[in-house]
Amino acid sequence: METTVFVDRIIDILRTVNSQVKAGENRYTLTDEQFDTINQTQDLATVQQYLLAYGIPPYLIDKALDENQSMADVTGSGYDFSLQQAYNEFGGITPGTSPIGVTASYVSPRGDAASEYYTENDLVDDFAGMGEESIAGIQASLINAGLLETDAGFIAGDWGPTTQRAFSYILGMANRRGVTTQERETGSAWRSALSEFEQNPLPKYPDAEAYLPPDFDSVANSITTMFRRGVNRDPQPYELKLLANTLYSEAQQAYQQSVDLNQATQQQDVSAGGLLAGQYGNYSKENVQAKIDAEGLTQIDPLAGAQFRFEEIIADEKGRLGENVDSRRSRALMLNSLNQRPN
């Protein structure tokens, strides 16, 4: 199936599913960025991986892949996706026998000899009984592949639902490539798929917001207020420009420092031993503190930086004004004492 055809089919299916969603139920949506990503991806298997990562359930992807069903039948008014979802979630259709990531009629590119597909039953039966270290090793690889988050609510060394859901992407890839009897027995099919995922992890979009410079009007008002309070006048144009540039520079440095510290929280390589030892719960905090200590980082306050520069600019002027102010105040105190007025 052509990638463009598949994308068109999955979008039609998602549109139909969302039209059947009842009040209070979640809809399946894609952001503009996510849609652009899948629309620009040429490889069909990679598009499916993205969709799974974006929370699109496997049974909808399977429907889009099934060329034996026309879109008119799949998206017609007589097809109830909510019922299909219930069957898939609660085992209403031949529990556990459905192949993962492909349809029952799928023919692998390697032919009938490679059609020993992993099923939902295999996802549990073949892996839940592994030793704790072996399961932790798979979990570590899933984390490094971008399929499992360290805070996803799983127990290291336990083949729980969260780990199963992440690993289903691996078995889906293995099935799409085809699995022989020997590969099933040795585990080479899923190991190869897991290794490729780990070497080519799904991209993560940064959480940090884009840098937005301070509003110029707000900056100008703050600087004007400094001058009026400090020397009882408005700033000269060159003074306004100088302090504004200082504030912008400090704000950008504060943002970049925040980004650098955020990157320090990202663990690159997770290990089975580390998971079992519980090393990753506080890993990010330790990494950030180590970076702060090593580089001697301190908080950056843009407004404080601008204030410091302002004090340098007006130091002489403020000194002259201060003498005049003290003289006027001394004279006022003398007159007040003579006239017995309160100070």
Domain identity same for 28 and 161: yes
Which of these ranges, 36-50, 86-100, 163-177, 281-295, has the smallest mean pLDDT? Answer: 86-100
82 within some domain: yes
210 within some domain: no
* Choice between 56 and 189, residue whose per-residue pLDDT is larger: 189
Does the predicted model carry a pTM greater than 0.85?
A: no
Percent of all residues in the chain with a pLDDT value above 90, rounded to a whole number:
12
49 within some domain: yes
**Structural domain boundaries, residue 280:** 216-339
CA distance 221 to 243: 12
User: Cβ-count burial of 163 within 10 angstroms (0-12 exposed, 13-18 middle, 19+ buried)?
Assistant: buried
Which residue among 199, 230, 255 closes a domain?
199
227 within some domain: yes
- Give me the pLDDT at residue 204, please: 54
Domain identity same for 159 and 188: yes
- Give me the pLDDT at residue 263, please: 60
Q: How many domains does the chain have?
A: 2
Domain identity same for 9 and 99: yes
CA distance 125 to 255: 49
Domain identity same for 224 and 195: no
C-alpha 339, offset from chain centre: 73
Which residue among 164, 199, 234 closes a domain?
199
Q: Do residues 336 and 342 touch, judged by C-beta distance below 8 A?
A: yes
209 within some domain: no
Domain identity same for 171 and 39: yes
Which residue among 153, 170, 199 closes a domain?
199
214-229 mean pLDDT: 80
204 within some domain: no
Whether the predicted pLDDT of 115 surpasses 80: yes
